[in-house]
Structure 1
Amino acid sequence: MKHWLKVLLVLTLVLSGLTLSNVVQAAGGEDEEESINEKFGLPIVVYGGTLNEDQKQEVREYLNVKNPEMVEEITVTGEDLVTYIEGEDRNARMFSSAKITRKEKGEGLVINRATPENITQVTDDMYANALLTAGIEDAEVIVASPVKVSGHSALVGIYKAYEVSGETLNKDRMEVANEELSIATKLAEEEGMDSEKVSELLTEIKKQIAEQNPATREDVEQIVEEQLAKLNIELSEEDRQLLIDLFEKMRELNINFDNVKNQLEQISTDIKNKIDEVVGNEGFWQGVQDFFRNLFQSIADLFK
C-alpha cells in the first residue's frame, strides 16, 4: 500500500508541474494588440530583392510580422547597393532582410539575428558596431535570411529603411561602416579570430578614440597598436594596416564616438558576457548534470 502511495505522490507532482507549465505558456502566449508609434511611424521591413514569394513569407515569420498592415514593407536590390556603397555590384543577389523599429534617443541599439544559422559571418555585435559608425544609434533591428548568406547586404537594407523614414545618413559614413563590416568578417575568417574577439577589438578601439580624440594618423596607429597588445591579438602587417586605415578614415570624417560612448560600453559588456559564457560552459553543463543526477536519486529514494 505504501508503495502505491509513493507512486501516486510522484505522479501528482509531475502532473502538477505539467499543468503549471501549460498555464504559464497559455498566459505568455496571449497576443497583445500592436500599437503605432506616432512619432516614428510603423516599423519598416526590408526584403532582399532576390527572395521569391515563398521565401518572403518565411522571412515574415522570422521577423514576427503577424499583420502586414502594421509594418511598412519595402525591397532592397542591387541598384540600392550601388547607390549606398560605391564600387559594389548591381547584380548582387540580395537575400538578407531586416525589420527596423526606431526608438527614442538614448534607448540604444538592439540587434538580433532571427536566423543565426543562416547569417554565417556577421554577428549581432558586428552589426551594432557598423551601424553606430553609419550614424544609426537608437533602434531595434532584427535580421533574417531563409538561406545561408554572409549577412553583409542587410546593412544596405537598413540604410534604405532610414531613407524611407525621412532620415538622411551620411554616405561616407555608410561606406566606412560597410568597410568596417568587411574587415571584421575578414579578420574572423582569414586570421582565425573568434568573432566576439573581433568585435571586442573594434569596440575598444572606438572607446579609446572617443576618450583620446586622436589628432593625427600616428595617434590612431598608437591606439590600434595599444588595443592589439592589450587584447593579446597578433595580426599580419597587412591586416594591421587595414585597421589603421579604417580608423583613420573615421577620424577624417570626424565621427564623434563620444556621443555613443554608452552604447559602446553596452556592446563591450555584451561581448564580455558572451566570452565569459563560452568559458563557463563546461561548469554550466556539469551543474546541469549534477542537478538531474540528484533529482533522479531523490525520486529513487522515495521507493526505498
Structure 2
Amino acid sequence: MNKKSVLLLLVLLFSVLPFTSQDIKAASEWDQAVTVYGAALESNPDLQDQTAELLGATDSDMVDFVYSEDVNQYINQSYDNSVLMSSIRIQQTDEGSGLKINIDESLGNITMISEETYQNALLTSGITDADVTIAAASDVTGESALAGVYKAYANQGEEIDPERTQNAQDELDAISDISSENESVEGFSQVQLNKVITEVKVEIINNFNGDVTEDQIRTILDEKLNANGLDGILSQAQIDRLVEIFNQLKDSGIFTGEEAQKLVNSSEDLINRITSSDAFKDAKDSATALGKDIAESEEINSFMDALRDFWDRIVEFFKGLF
C-alpha cells in the first residue's frame, strides 16, 4: 500500500471515529478538581472542614457553594440555604474512564438516594467520565447534590444542557418516589429498579439506534422488569411514569450518535457496580424465595467485547502497515 493510500485510509478512519476535537478538549481541560459545598456550610467553618475531609478536598481544589437559586436553576427544586448540606467533589477524567460515584456516610447518611441512582441520573445528564464523591456532615436527603455537580461544571466553563439536567432530575425523582412507594413491598429494591432503567437505555441504543416508539419502550420495559424480578410489582402509574421519562430521553437525543456511545460505555460500569453489590445479591435471594429470578445482564458485556475486538483489529491492521 503506497503512502497516498495510507493517508486516505487514515482520513476516512478518523472521520468516523466517535469523538471530536471538542471531546478531546473536554477530556483534558480540568487541571483541578472542584469542591462544591452546600450553602449551609458557608457560615459553619467547623462543618465545612469536616465535610472537606469526607470529600477528600485539597487546597488546590476550585471551591464554590450551591445556593437555593442554583438548586432551583439546575433541578427545579426549592430549598432554603439553611438546609443545603450535601456537598460534592468532582474531578473530570479521561474519556472512556467511566463515571465513578462514592458516597461517604462516615458522619451523615444520604437518606434518599443511592450511589446507583446518582450515577443513573448523571449519565442521563451527559456526564460519563468523572470521579464524584458525595458527603454530608449530618443526615440529609441528598437531593441537592446533583446541583452541586452541575455547578462544578459551570465553574469549569462547561454548562450542562438544562434539558438534560431536568431529565436527570425527573429520573432521579421517579426512582426515589417509586422506591419509597414500594419500600415495604416484598421482592422490590432500588437496586433492581436502577438495573432495569440502565438496561432499557442500553437496549434502546443497541437494538433500535435510539429510534423507538412508545409501544416499543413499553415492551422493552416489561421485558426488563420481568428479567429483574419486578413483574407485577410496579403499578401501572409507576410504569407509565418511567415510559414518559424514556420518551423524554429519546427526544433529548441522548440515545443517538456520539452521546449514545458514551452512555453505553459508562453504563457497563454501572451494571458491574450493581451486579457486584451486596444489595443486588440480597435482591436475587429475595427473588428466589418468591419463586422469581433475576437474570444476569449479558447484553452490555457482549457489546463491549465486540467493541474491544473491533479496536484490537484496528490496532493490528495499522501495526501491519508500518
Q: TM over 0.5, yes or no?
A: yes
* Alignment partners' CA distance in 2, 1:261 and 1:215: 16
Give 3-state SS (helix, strand or coil) of 1:105's partner.
coil
* Alignment partners' CA distance in 2, 1:85 and 1:118: 21
Residue identity matched to 1:42: Q
Give 3-state SS (helix, strand or coil) of 2:64's partner.
strand
Identical residues among aligned pairs (%): 29
Match of 2:251 in 1: 252
Matched, 1:56 2:48: yes
- Do the aligned partners of 2:88 and 2:135 also contact (CA within 8 Å) in 1? yes
Cα deviation 1:129-157 (Å, max 9, x = unaligned):
11010011110000001111111110000
Q: Is the deviation greater in 164-173 or in 89-98?
A: 89-98
Give me the CA root mean square deviation: 2.1
Match of 2:318 in 1: none
Match of 2:102 in 1: 112
What is the CA distance between 1:243 and its match in structure 2? 0.5
Within 5 A, what are the aligned runs for 1:283-294? none
* Alignment partners' CA distance in 2, 1:155 and 1:184: 15
Matched, 1:179 2:170: yes
Query: 5+ residue gaps in structure 1?
Result: 1-36, 282-304
Matched, 1:201 2:196: yes
Q: What stretches of structure 1 move > 6 A for 4+ residues in a row?
A: none
Residue identity matched to 1:269: N
* Alignment partners' CA distance in 1, 2:117 and 2:88: 15
Match of 1:45 in 2: 35
- Do the aligned partners of 2:124 and 2:164 also contact (CA within 8 Å) in 1? yes
Cα deviation 1:36-69 (Å, max 9, x = unaligned):
x98312100000001222211110110122x42x
Query: 5+ residue gaps in structure 2?
Result: 1-26, 286-322
Cα deviation 1:87-116 (Å, max 9, x = unaligned):
x21536311100001101111111100117
Matched, 1:152 2:147: no
What is the CA distance between 1:260 and its match in structure 2? 2.0
TM value normalised by structure 2: 0.71
* Alignment partners' CA distance in 1, 2:123 and 2:99: 8
Give the number of equivalent residue pairs: 242
Give 3-state SS (helix, strand or coil) of 2:133's partner.
strand
Match of 2:240 in 1: 241
Match of 2:319 in 1: none
Give 3-state SS (helix, strand or coil) of 1:120's partner.
coil
Of the three residues 65, 73, 78, the one matched with 1:89 is 78
Of the three residues 155, 160, 175, the one matched with 1:169 is 160
Residue identity matched to 1:138: D
* Alignment partners' CA distance in 2, 1:215 and 1:279: 30
TM value normalised by structure 1: 0.75
What is the CA distance between 1:229 and its match in structure 2? 1.9
- Do the aligned partners of 1:214 and 1:220 also contact (CA within 8 Å) in 2? no
Which structure has the larger Rg? 1
